[in-house]
Structure 1
Amino acid sequence: MDEPKTTAYRFSIGRPPFSFLTGISLVGVGLLAGILVMLIIDRPPRESQLAEIRLVERTETEKRSSESELLPAMTLGSAFRSVARGAVESVVSVSTESGWHSYLWSSSDSDMIRDSEGSGVVITPQGHIVTNHHLIENAGKLHVLFADKREYEAYTVGVDRSTDLAVIQIVLSPGKSVQAMTIGDSETLQLGDWVLAIGNPMELNSTVTAGIVSAVGRSMNIIDADFGVEDFIQTDAAINPGNSGGALVNLSGELIGINTAIATNSGFYEGYGFAIPVNLVVRVASDLIEFGEFRRGYMGVVPADVDAKLAQALGMVAVRGVFLDQVYAGSAAEIAGLRPGDVILEVDGRPVNRPNQLQSAILLKHPYSTVGVAYWRDGQVDSLQLRLLGQDHPGVSSWLLEMGYRPDRKARTARYLDKWGLVVRDKSEEDEAQYGDLEGIIIQRVTRQEEMEYLKAGVLVERIDGRTVSSVEEAIKQLRDAGETTRLSIRDRWNIPRMVSLSVINH
């Protein structure tokens, strides 16, 4: 049976044959002999040798020409140094530890297993850090290390598998803040733009590498999730294991991407790195911080590529757009009037020519927002307004279930409520033994400086200001309306009902 053919990007340096070496040697001897003979024949008088040795000075024109060639390189080097100095302060090392009961944060170091190490980028002064979901997935404890050796523990704020993004937050002392990186605009990127990749590859903290934007809008089929979206920036800046979650910045020092993956046969850098565009990062991270989950709008179509043959069959002059292979019943697309066989050309004036471009354009919009769609049908271009639907819409829920889609439930996602000095999480099966069927959320940690008699890790919060609370999301909404003080109805470790008054921490 023939072995399957594989492509191996390996280079080897072998020894040349002996006969080849012999030929080179003979030629070399002949040349050397000829040079010696010429030197002896043409050798000038000894006293004239020193007179022939002169320093050749460049003319003013040559100087100016040389200096003008060096100037761009010097300016570029100065830009690299300036950007690197500022950006490394906002790029951190993120290490995770896992253990079977580490989730309760009560285990000793001996119970923990160092699981993975990568990078993250500080995006708010309050210590929110964006990183990759695959880095912190199933993590117990999270540790964050800054370039200046400051170290913090962190908690997961929210994750989204469909974009491979996650937000964590470090615990800061009252009145403290950290330097957040300036956010750029990935829509302005052009091929050939200089970029710097900053991260912690192979435990080499605060490593900076340079490269260019090699391509935009790449889809690599590496995100293994329902409705996964890939719209990567491709760069040749060196990215290696440990760079995941790190920053891709432009020469203005602005974040324009989160480094996520590499294409490689060796497991290490081979010239092809991929980053999630910052516009998508900001859209997802904002939801994760506010809601603990990414709330996306749905169009309700199955997109496909348009090739030359299909374009010709549809009577299109140019090969462009995204073909609608299927439009789901009751979806936003059907309600707006789109049909299978239509070709989407633009979304809000932005051309879309690949399925992942259409998905990315929709992903940047909020549920129930309205977008303008230009499309091709029956030999002409037309347009319409389309109102995206949310996952809570009955029609969307129905066809999502038909497709077998089950949204991720993040029962083990802890939220750090820095305003109140609490880390809280949803109640899990492990809490049933103590609290039974009682509804509420669990206080995972108290970060307030003052000691509070009953407010301890592990207690159950049943009500906030008299209103029942069954999830962290509900608690966040109620605390947002609470003003400067609130009253918590809790159950302590002995399952005894208590009432605790809580005030906002003055940062």
Structure 2
Amino acid sequence: MRNTFQLLLASVLGGMFTLGCYFLIFPQKEMLDDNNGLSSNKNVDVIPAVYSNLPRAEAAEETDFTVIAESSVNAVVHVKNVSIAPTNPLMEFFYGSSAQGGQMIVGTGSGVIISPDGYIITNNHVINGAKKVEVTLNNKKTYDAEIVGVDKTTDIALLKINAGELPSLGFGDSDNLKVGEWVLAVGNPYNLTSTVTAGIVSAKARDIRMNGNNSQIESFIQTDAAVNPGNSGGALVNVRGELIGINTAISSQTGSYVGYSFAVPSNIAKKVIEDILEFGNVQRAYLGINYDELDSEKAEKYGVSTSQGVIITRVADKGAASEAGLKDNDVIVKMDNVKINKFADLQGFLGSKRPGDKVKVTVLRDNQNKQVDLVLKNQFGKESFGANDFSKSLIGDLKPLSSKNAQKFDLDYGMEITSLNNKTLYSKYGIENGDMILAIEDQKIQSEEEVEELLRYYQSKEYINVLILKQNGTYGYVRLRE
């Protein structure tokens, strides 16, 4: 026991001696003081912080939506659509609305007041087929609305009410919208008036193939702000209180919000409204090209060095692209200052332009960027590229339904084939002159221009579904380009 105690004492004394020598030989470092931070000696080793010059982003908790929400809800209205619905939609599609009669139904949606004198923008599908449209303001006052004009291609409609001076929202520039930017969705979901939800911009230039609403120009803003049935036609607003989109669709298996909602960009909506007011219809700008959207596989196929952009596969004679000197195999990578990574980017840009507008086009040619000035032309001008180019080659010559066939089959839509150019339609499906085209990809057609527009829109598909009514009264689908 005594030996153990002596050994322990020697160890303690040895440790104290060693520690004392350490403090005498090596310089001391000051420690953090629990109460006052650093002690009086400032000779402290630290790890330097690295700061970037990136602009400071607003944190969610620092963003005040209250003022924006208050002004927005007063400019967003409840839209009621009173229409007649067929008792059998399938019979109506084939035989017309008078075959089975119908019943009155009421649909609801939202709209945005865009001028103090009562012009209201909404979705076409909100007021489609309406016998009467009613608008209820945030103050609960209700007015009958006039339908000034509609555009099925962008799913935009313009209404007008006479209600004196009204609160309104101004258009923002949707091209300047950034992914990750805060936005508010304002509308009337499930008849719950003046509902505001917040989210961020999840993506831009989304193509969701929203065929059910006859939307053919698809370059949507995607957001995670909650949007439900009834929000259609309502406002998507940025943190400056500007209207940067018209809420239009959700992507859901249930029909309700599950995290994705889509809005027509304000630049497209604004251009459509201006055209309706100035011309009575929408002026389409056209490049005069056939195209393909690139990915890594197609980049290898076409022998180009980029997997992003829109490649020109054919330049139409006398079109805007031809006159600007664009060539087959050029890859469009930018229009003005808008990057073109996919066709939806190009479609969205052109959707905000009209014939006669001058734009700068940047293309990749022989692995070198080349910029050209281009003047956009009318989409269906015969002088610009040969109108109805696709419909003639893929089908043949067409004319509107004769009064005899319209009465016989109780139809108010469709086109008759007067000269069949696509002989495969005869050999494979038995299609003949006099047979009628009713729909392309389940979208009813009423003019040769609509046939042309739909065929061009779906040109990148492997095949295009066309609903045919034969002269003997039988219906069937054919596949173009299969």
TM-score by length of 2: 0.62
Residue of structure 2 aligned with 1:331, choices 298, 319, 330: 319
Distance 1:227 1:376, change over 3 A: farther
Give, as a single letter, the amino acid of the residue that structure 1 aligns with 2:366: D
Question: Is contact 1:160-1:166 (8 Å) kept?
Answer: yes
* Equivalent residues in 2 for 1:101-140, closer than 5 Å: 113-140=104-131
Gapped regions of structure 1 (runs ≥ 5): 1-58, 62-70, 101-110, 410-507
Question: Is contact 1:223-1:229 (8 Å) kept?
Answer: no
Task: Give 1:268 deviation, angstroms.
Answer: 0.6
* Equivalent residues in 2 for 1:265-344, closer than 5 Å: 265-312=253-300, 316-344=304-332
In 1, Cα distance between equivalents of 2:150 and 2:322: 30
Give, as a single letter, the amino acid of the residue that structure 2 aligns with 1:124: S
Instruction: Tell me which residue corresponds to 2:467.
Output: none
Instruction: Tell me which residue corresponds to 1:195.
Output: 183
Task: Give 1:289 deviation, angstroms.
Answer: 1.9
Does residue 219 (structure 1) correspond to residue 207 (structure 2)? The answer is: yes
Larger radius of gyration: 2
Question: Is contact 2:125-2:213 (8 Å) kept?
Answer: no
SS of corresponding position for 1:357: helix
- Post-superposition Cα deviations, 1:386-434, rounded to whole Å, max 9, x if no partner, equal 221114632358433643799xx9xxxxxxxxxxxxxxxxxxxxxxxxx
* Equivalent residues in 2 for 1:88-103, closer than 5 Å: 88-99=73-84
Question: Is contact 1:298-1:396 (8 Å) kept?
Answer: no
Instruction: Tell me which residue corresponds to 1:85.
Output: 70
In 1, Cα distance between equivalents of 2:240 and 2:367: 45
Instruction: Tell me which residue corresponds to 1:437.
Output: none
User: RMSD between aligned alpha carbons?
Assistant: 2.9
Distance 1:271 1:60, change over 3 A: farther
- Post-superposition Cα deviations, 1:229-278, rounded to whole Å, max 9, x if no partner, equal 11111111111100000011112221111100000011111111001111
Question: Is contact 2:182-2:198 (8 Å) kept?
Answer: yes
In 2, Cα distance between equivalents of 1:199 and 1:226: 22
Instruction: Tell me which residue corresponds to 1:374.
Output: 362
- Post-superposition Cα deviations, 1:286-321, rounded to whole Å, max 9, x if no partner, equal 111222211121112222211123335656444322
Instruction: Tell me which residue corresponds to 1:346.
Output: 334
In 2, Cα distance between equivalents of 1:74 and 1:371: 41
SS of corresponding position for 1:323: strand
* Equivalent residues in 2 for 1:210-249, closer than 5 Å: 210-223=198-211, 228-249=216-237
In 1, Cα distance between equivalents of 2:104 and 2:218: 31
Give, as a single letter, the amino acid of the residue that structure 1 aligns with 2:115: T
Distance 1:74 1:354, change over 3 A: closer
Residue of structure 2 aligned with 1:163, choices 151, 154, 163: 154
Misfit runs of 4+, over 6 Å: none
Distance 1:90 1:307, change over 3 A: same
Question: Is contact 2:84-2:129 (8 Å) kept?
Answer: no
In 2, Cα distance between equivalents of 1:215 and 1:310: 24
SS of corresponding position for 1:359: helix
Task: Give 1:72 deviation, angstroms.
Answer: 5.7
Percent identical residues: 40
Question: Is contact 1:262-1:273 (8 Å) kept?
Answer: yes
Give, as a single letter, the amino acid of the residue that structure 2 aligns with 1:221: R
In 2, Cα distance between equivalents of 1:318 and 1:281: 32
TM-score by length of 1: 0.60
Aligned length: 326
Gapped regions of structure 2 (runs ≥ 5): 1-34, 38-57, 86-101, 401-482
- Post-superposition Cα deviations, 1:374-393, rounded to whole Å, max 9, x if no partner, equal 11223322222222111463
Give, as a single letter, the amino acid of the residue that structure 1 aligns with 2:112: V
Does residue 181 (structure 1) correspond to residue 173 (structure 2)? The answer is: no
SS of corresponding position for 1:383: strand
Question: Is contact 2:155-2:214 (8 Å) kept?
Answer: no
Question: Is contact 1:196-1:211 (8 Å) kept?
Answer: yes
In 1, Cα distance between equivalents of 2:301 and 2:255: 43
